[in-house]
Amino acid sequence: MANHVSWLDIYVINAVAPSAFVSKAEVRGWPLIGWLAARNSTIFLRRGSRGHARIVNQEIDHVLGMGRNVAVFPEGTTTDGSQVLHFHAALLQPAVSAGRPVQALAISYLDGEGRRTAAPAYDGDLSLGACLANILAHRRLTAHLCAAAPMETATRNRRDLAETARADIIRMAALNDPLATASAAAAEAPEASAAAQP
């Protein structure tokens, strides 16, 4: 499982560990990328449908049963790479049920100077054309992929695995955790207001 910045993430992961991917169903209709995704054994998920999620989990279980890797992006969307959103754990259940290990992968992109860049990010309202233009505007982009040690699933539940993987990705990508910052701020707020009262 990995953080999700760009449609390029699929090719970065596949270059290191060929995998079937879980993707939102809309991707199938995208020009070129949808065709490439379908040819890569992508498992397409209709978001918001619990019944379809069960079918997708069966498909994941089948792919795992064939000894193949399955890659998921538990954030459920892309970011500009400067943060890692909450991880949705449901798609980890087939690995837990099958007793297959899971592994966290941190993806980031660097410019020609070795600095983190959002150029490949395909997030927000950015069109595919604008994303391609951002990528092509850089003479050099490097994908940086860090892998944590695989985690055994036999004694852990999917939520614990997702939380651990998210923390590993934040650490490996050297990012701040906006969820932890928000929680800390919320915890400190009552103390600060109580201290301010006479």
Q: Do 5 and 79 contact (CB within 8 A), yes or no?
A: yes
pLDDT at 198: 42
Looking at the predicted structure, is the pLDDT value of residue 52 above 80?
Answer: no
Q: Which two tokens stand for residue 192?
A: 């600060």
* Residue 49 reports pLDDT greater than 90: no
- Residue 69 pLDDT exceeds 50: yes
Confidence of residue 131 (pLDDT cuts 50, 70, 90): very high
Band of pLDDT at residue 79, cut at 50, 70 and 90 = very high
Query: Worst-scoring range by mean pLDDT, 3-7, 40-44, 126-130?
Result: 40-44
Of 67, 60, 54, 68, which Cα lies nearest the Cα of 95? 60
Q: What is the pLDDT of residue 13?
A: 95
**How far are the Cα atoms of 31, 176, 194 from residue 182, in angstroms, in the given order?**
38, 11, 19
Give the whole-angstrom CA distance, residue 183 versus residue 120.
30
pLDDT at 134: 94
Quick one: CA dihedral 9, 38, 46, 96, positive or negative? Answer: negative
pTM: 0.83
What lies within 8 Å, CB to CB, of 81 at 6+ separation is 3, 5, 107, 108, 109, 116, 118, 121, 173
CB contact set of 160 (below 8 Å; sequence gap of 6+): none
Residue 189 confidence (pLDDT) above 60? no
The whole-number pLDDT of residue 54 equals: 79
